[in-house]
């Protein structure tokens, strides 16, 4: 499971690694079943604010981001001390038109470090047809580039933030994954995803790992969860893990942290942070 020296070099060169199997198809189906049990009770596909910082309200997600096989993949890249800064759930329903424009995760996260990566876990298969991610290998070497806010209610991204120049789609790779596999991508990597044109839903979850040395630059107080090793810096306040799905304590804590996330993502816009993030028609938050 541990990455080979060649794979680590490939990550440094290209900014991505895939596919890596971290669990069985059945385990992935069990995580999906947990999500779908909630969706059944709540009357539809997960959306709005519950799609981000989701590990604060779903115990299954808190468990997933601590999964030993995932941490084993991340440690050789970021080191033994690891925190999760945020998590996201990305459901694409057949024909719902939702997509993600070309962007870098770093554009609106406010973190002062690029020792940050995403592990994207496929809970269903992710294919070209159902809207898997596309990535531009090596694009993370550009550092942070300019993004323009665009308006499209089908774009998952908070601000529709889009890189308008320098994307050569012919150079991109389609990150097809089987359920239970993951991809890893660097916080500065250019990536996107197209709508689901299949007859089945596509669901993946993203876990954003940082090192405790990172700092939030857009607000004074930010939160993260230590999942490996030690935090010798204290730059992030500790999060509270949920004891049950959507318990009232978890909901209250999520609201507090979600408000801060809104302030980070929507810096320098005239949008009201939490209103924008809660509107299920807009995207709630982003990668």
Ligand X SMILES: O=C(O)CCC(=O)C(=O)O
Binding site residues, ligand X, CB under 6 A: 90, 100, 105, 118, 120, 133, 191, 193, 204, 206, 287
Q: Rounded CA gap, 26 and 24, in Å?
A: 5
Q: What is the closest distance, in whole angstroms, from the C-beta atom of residue 242 to ligand X in the complex?
A: 22
Pair 227, 84: CB distance under 8 Å: yes
Residue nearer to ligand X on the CB measure, 188 or 222: 188
Which tokens is 206 given? 């993203």
- Residues 32/126, Cβ–Cβ less than 8 Å: no
CA dist., res. 160 & res. 164, Å (int): 11
Q: Which residue has the tokens 């609201």?
A: 255
Name the strand (E) or helix (H) holding 250: helix 248-265
CA–CA separation, 69 and 107 (whole Å): 29
Return the number of the residue (118 or 228) whose C-beta is nearest ligand X.
Answer: 118
Q: How far is the CB of 103 from ligand X (least distance, A)?
A: 7
CB of 41 to ligand X, least distance (A): 24
Report the nearest approach of ligand X to the CB of residue 281 (Å): 18
Nearer to ligand X, 158 or 253 (CB): 158
Nearer to ligand X, 253 or 266 (CB): 266
183 φ, ψ (degrees, to nearest 5): -115, 160
Sign of CA dihedral 232, 238, 244, 246: negative
Position with the least CB separation from ligand X: 287
Q: Quote the least distance from Cβ 51 to ligand X, whole Å.
A: 11
Closest CB to ligand X among residues 184, 253: 184
């Amino acid at each position: 499971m541990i990455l080979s020296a060649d794979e680590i070099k490939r990550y440094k060169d290209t900014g991505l690694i895939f596919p890596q199997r971290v669990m069985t198809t059945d385990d992935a189906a069990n995580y999906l079943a947990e999500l779908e049990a909630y969706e059944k009770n709540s009357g539809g596909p997960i959306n709005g604010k519950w799609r981000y910082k989701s590990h604060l309200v779903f115990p299954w997600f808190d468990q997933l981001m601590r999964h030993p096989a995932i941490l084993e993949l991340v440690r050789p890249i970021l080191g033994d001390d690891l925190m999760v800064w945020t998590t996201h759930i990305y459901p694409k329903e057949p024909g719902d038109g939702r997509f993600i424009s070309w962007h870098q995760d770093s554009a609106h996260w406010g973190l002062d470090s690029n020792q940050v990566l995403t592990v994207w876990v496929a809970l269903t298969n992710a294919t070209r047809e159902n809207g898997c991610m596309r990535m531009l290998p090596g694009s993370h070497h550009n550092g942070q580039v300019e993004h323009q806010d665009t308006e499209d209610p089908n774009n998952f991204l908070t601000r529709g933030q889009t890189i308008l120049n320098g994307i050569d789609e012919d150079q991109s790779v389609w990150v097809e994954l089987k359920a239970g596999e993951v991809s890893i991508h660097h916080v500065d990597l250019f990536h996107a995803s197209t709508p689901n044109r299949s007859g089945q839903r596509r669901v993946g979850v993203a876990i954003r790992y940082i090192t405790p040395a990172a700092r939030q630059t857009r607000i004074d107080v930010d939160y993260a969860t230590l999942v490996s090793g030690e935090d010798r810096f204290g730059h992030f306040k500790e999060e509270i893990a949920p004891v049950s799905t959507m318990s009232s304590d978890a909901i209250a804590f999520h609201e507090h942290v979600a408000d801060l996330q809104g302030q980070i993502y929507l810096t320098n816009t005239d949008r009201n942070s939490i209103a924008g993030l809660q509107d299920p028609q807009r995207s709630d938050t982003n990668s």
